[in-house]
Structure 1
Amino acid sequence: MSIKFFDMLSQNLIELLNDNDDYNVIIEVENKEKSFTAHSNVLKFRSPYFRRELENIQTSGNKIKIIIESNISAQIFSVILQYIYGGIVDLENCKTRFIYDLMLAADEFEFKELTNELETLLIETKGPWLRTHFSIIYHSIFSRKNFKKLENFFNDIIVKYPSLIFDADYFTSIEESALLSLLKRDDLQIEEVKIWDYVIEWGISKASILPTNLDEWTTEDFLTLKTTLQQCLPHIRYFHLSGIEVLDKIEPYKKILDKQLWKDINQHMVAPERPVKSIILPPRSVLVTELPPRVERESFSTIISEEHAAKISTWIDRKTNTYTLTNVPYKFELILRGTQDGFAPQTFWNICHGHARTVVLVKVKGTDEIVGGYNLLAWDNSNIKEKWIKTKDSFIFSLKNGNIRNSILSRVKQPQYAILNISQNFQNQYGPYFGDFWMFSDKSDFTLDDRCFSRSNGCFYEKPIRSSSENFSIINYEIFKVVKGTI
């Protein structure tokens, strides 16, 4: 039997840290602006990183070793020292960004226990923040290669919304490990032939300068690309491509494939029942696009009904008579749901970037109102400055619901001010923006303040969609992509 007194031990070690006597290490941080004192034996036994650092540093005349950590803040390092000496990390009232930066510092100093705890904490309690800062964090975690849980967290998002990475301006700069982690996924929601195109694009960007015209490529050029993509090529599902896709997309680059693989691909196109020597990977489990049976239809949205969807479809097609539930020509494919993906404005721009033909649906807090808008064109999160996009086909609306007796349709009357793509500097405040109706939050959460707004007089659109001119908060919102097909 053993009796443990960890609390007192932790307290005594913290007292040792705060005692200015007997230290033999000085750690300078923030470009040498601030410094901390410590004890080499404690640092060495708590961190392999500091053990290596101390072994490589000569003592000064007073036998003090100086470690320089210019890029870490004094606030972060103070918490690190509290952890080293006392095993205590106080995160009360800490902002999420501080927790994230602390996790990166813990990883750098090789505190696996602390790193894992902070990684788990972020995933379990700070999901909306992680999604909002998607692009920055995604690059960071794959460059360090020690955050498997965060890698899985983001890849689970990307497989459903692949445009977040594959259509991003920085796609060709992502780490090979990041690309590989996606190529290995059976549930990546992209057509296989498009995956091939993206892999080729990425490989060409990584290889040395190659001729723009493929006809001018030499054998060495193809070998260069093959070498660059040697880890990626085995994860393409070649045997699930159509014959036309093989002829149009694969054959021009056949020299980067192993001869046996190319032979087997050709054989499979002619005689698919015959066995091949190459490994045949299973097809990716692309989500079924058909809507579920009748008994499950009600769940396609938490805000509107099928009748509402039929009404919106009628407005899209400018029909006089409302579609019935049996002849609606469109499906509403969910892109974003606030209760699922979070209410941060930046989340909208991250997830909806590149999506066209979208319907925005908003449930107003404290009323029966359902308001929204339709955007024929694509949302774009890449603008340095705000940019109006012109269309005659957008409209805003209010739907009949509860005490709301009639639906309101308001078509754009000044097409040049139909849709505003917000500049990157303000995407943490503004969500979807139609000329006379927009979503806004000072607190980066549409449910935490009442800053969403709809004009009480038609300015850029024909008529107001709300009787009240007051700003409002929301309960939930959803973004759907409208595609051909029946509900």
Structure 2
Amino acid sequence: MSMDIVELKPTLLKDLKNLYKNLEKDNNNDYNVTIKVEQKSFKAHSVILKLRSEYFRNLINNEIKRMANMFNKKITLEISDMNSEVFSSCLKYIYTGEFSLQGDNDFLFDLFIAAEKLKLIDMVDYLQNYFIENKTEWIEINLIRVYQISLNSISFNELQVHCKQIIDQNPKFIFLSDSFHTLKSSILLDLIKRDDEFLTEIKIWRQLIKWVHEQEPPINRDTQNWNPSNIIDFEERIRDFIPHIRFFTISSDNYYSYVRPYKEILPQKLVDQLERFYLVRDASPPPNALRPRTPRRLRRKISTYSMRSPTEPTTPAEPRLQRSRSHILAKVPIVNRPPSIHVKPISNIINIRQMRRISHWIDRVESGNINNDFVLLAKGTWDSTTQIKFHDLCDNKGPTLILARIDNTNDIIGGYNPHSWTSSNKWIGSTESFIFSFKSDSREGIDDIIFSRINDQNAAIFDGDSNSNIGFGLDLLLFTGEYKHVHYQRRIMDCDTFTIERYEVFQIRKKY
């Protein structure tokens, strides 16, 4: 900067803020633009709007051309697809460069969308990074809406990439979402084309059927009462998906219960192949049948024959695979290794990485060490546990974590109660409770997690007595083995009932 130029930017910003305040107080009569949003009118200055927003620059220039021969030079604009409170925040930003993050996540996301529409680029970039860095949990809960909106503008590219990473790591977030029916067909088709086994084939099929039924206009779910029009509509909606379903990996029971009722909409050749496969003993799938989906993160086995000393020569006359195992192992240098350390696990249901993840949820952090002690209060088989025994061992112990392995599936469910169980037979309010589920056989047990915080804080925990149930809202009722998606944000199971094989209850103590 030249020594003879003085910049007093704070004064300029102060004047612009005062100009905006006067507009809010209706003390400014030199405005020349009125903007109508919903039932509310906002006053503004065309020169500032055009300078700060490409959207308004184009809109105002077009309006000026239209009004060229009109005596009244004041401009009236109308924005039809925006909330007035959201627009008010955008207008404040246009004048002052400031906006508040105090609103809830839905409001801030609407603000993000509005900023893109109005071409407030810096605001878009800031909010996009804010959601990616601070609101991943909210994005996962609202993944379908967020991802589909991110496809609408190149300005949302970073958010789109973030959503794709979440989907790639766990497509179940999409398939088990309450808004699954709103998913665009092109996105659903891309997911079903995947070769990895993110859900069993029958679950993919049943979710697809549910999605088809719920598109507009809805189609009668009772296939026995379908008319020809229902068959045609259903067949048109599902046609593109059929070639990508691995029908021949579905069990005969599931085929009979969930696929066969829809055979009218399947290609006749496929129906003939399926019925031969299920009815003829030792029948094989046809040569063109899709292979089963690959189990996710299958660890590749390393052949013993790949072990070779870095200094070992190889000769064309003696291919490596023809060498004896003893010959190769003889070439591997012997290394003195320290004895293995065996630590008795804290839990027989979850491992240390899963425990670390749960500890992070309790502390509301993304990473770091385990800052909580897990003190075992009770464990065993659920059918041998009575309400009296549970309350004798677990009442008045402060915050607790309940873990349970589901019978016949090895899936794990759990919930965190930040308060004490007291046998009060009353609801306990909380903003910190949560429930979750994951596959016990996933990689280190942290890939297929479905995590859900409380939605209705007044019904977070039901603290039943020795004659009643205990539960996390009405979502997980443990003694009766019932699941309903009611009080917590996300659905963590795709069944209504469950049987607990084993359970553990831990007291949670902060480390100091």
Q: Report the Cα distance in structure 2 between the residues aligned to 1:171 and 1:137, rounded to whole angstroms.
A: 10
Q: Report the Cα distance in structure 1 between the residues aligned to 2:64 and 2:292, rounded to whole angstroms.
A: 53
Residues 183, 90 of structure 1: alpha-carbon distance in 2 compared, 3 angstrom cutoff = farther
Aligned pairs for 1:3-402 within 5 A: 25-29=33-37, 31-39=39-47, 50=59, 54=63, 61-69=71-79, 71=83, 72-80=86-94, 97=105, 100-109=109-118, 117-118=125-126, 120-122=128-130, 126-132=132-138, 134-136=140-142, 138-142=144-148, 145-146=152-153, 147=156, 149-154=158-163, 156-157=165-166, 164-176=173-185, 179-187=188-196, 189-206=198-215, 208-242=217-251, 245-262=254-271, 272=284, 275-276=287-288, 283-287=292-296, 307-309=343-345, 312-313=347-348, 334=354, 337=357, 344=364, 363-364=370-371, 369-371=373-375
Write the deviation string for residues 88-107 of structure 1: whole angstroms up to 9, x where unpaired.
x6679777847644421133
Identical amino acids, percent of aligned pairs? 19
Q: Could you tell me which amino acid in structure 1 is paired with residue 246 of structure 2?
A: R
Residues 414, 36 of structure 1: alpha-carbon distance in 2 compared, 3 angstrom cutoff = same
State TM-score, norm by structure 2: 0.50
Q: Supply the RMSD in Å over aligned alpha carbons.
A: 6.0
Q: Report the Cα distance in structure 2 between the residues aligned to 1:287 and 1:117, rounded to whole angstroms.
A: 34
Q: Could you tell me which amino acid in structure 2 is paired with residue 218 of structure 1?
A: N
Q: Report the Cα distance in structure 1 between the residues aligned to 2:265 and 2:297, rounded to whole angstroms.
A: 33
Q: Which has the larger radius of gyration?
A: 2
Q: Report the Cα distance in structure 1 between the residues aligned to 2:379 and 2:66, rounded to whole angstroms.
A: 62
Q: Is contact 1:420-1:433 (8 Å) kept?
A: yes
Q: Report the Cα distance in structure 2 between the residues aligned to 1:201 and 1:43, rounded to whole angstroms.
A: 46
Residues 44, 264 of structure 1: alpha-carbon distance in 2 compared, 3 angstrom cutoff = farther
Q: Which runs of 5+ in 1 are unaligned?
A: 1-7, 83-88, 294-304, 317-329, 348-361, 378-388, 399-410, 440-462, 475-487
Shift in Å, 1:196:
0.4
Residues 137, 171 of structure 1: alpha-carbon distance in 2 compared, 3 angstrom cutoff = closer
Q: Which runs of 5+ in 2 are unaligned?
A: 1-6, 20-27, 303-340, 382-386, 395-399, 403-419, 435-451, 465-470, 473-504
Shift in Å, 1:44:
8.5
- Partner SS state of residue 337, structure 1: helix
Q: Is contact 1:193-1:241 (8 Å) kept?
A: yes
Q: Could you tell me which amino acid in structure 2 is paired with residue 121 of structure 1?
A: N
- Partner SS state of residue 45, structure 2: strand
Residues 14, 149 of structure 1: alpha-carbon distance in 2 compared, 3 angstrom cutoff = same
Q: Report the Cα distance in structure 2 between the residues aligned to 1:268 and 1:27, rounded to whole angstroms.
A: 66
Compare relative contact order (CA 8 Å, sep 6+) and give the higher one, 1 or 2: 1
Shift in Å, 1:132:
3.1
Q: Is contact 2:374-2:506 (8 Å) kept?
A: no
Residues 273, 289 of structure 1: alpha-carbon distance in 2 compared, 3 angstrom cutoff = closer
Aligned to 2:478: none
Q: How many residues align?
A: 360
Q: Report the Cα distance in structure 2 between the residues aligned to 1:376 and 1:67, rounded to whole angstroms.
A: 68
Shift in Å, 1:195:
0.5
Q: Is contact 1:27-1:68 (8 Å) kept?
A: yes
Q: Could you tell me which amino acid in structure 1 is paired with residue 45 of structure 2?
A: T
Shift in Å, 1:226:
1.8
Q: Is contact 1:419-1:433 (8 Å) kept?
A: yes
Moved more, 230-239 or 336-345: 336-345
Aligned to 2:317: none
Shift in Å, 1:174:
4.2
Q: Is contact 2:180-2:211 (8 Å) kept?
A: yes
Aligned to 1:483: none
Moved more, 32-41 or 192-201: 32-41
Q: Is contact 2:189-2:241 (8 Å) kept?
A: yes
Aligned to 1:301: none
Q: Report the Cα distance in structure 2 between the residues aligned to 1:228 and 1:188, rounded to whole angstroms.
A: 24
Aligned pairs for 1:422-461 within 5 A: 427=455
Shift in Å, 1:199:
0.7
Shift in Å, 1:201:
1.1
Shift in Å, 1:224:
1.5
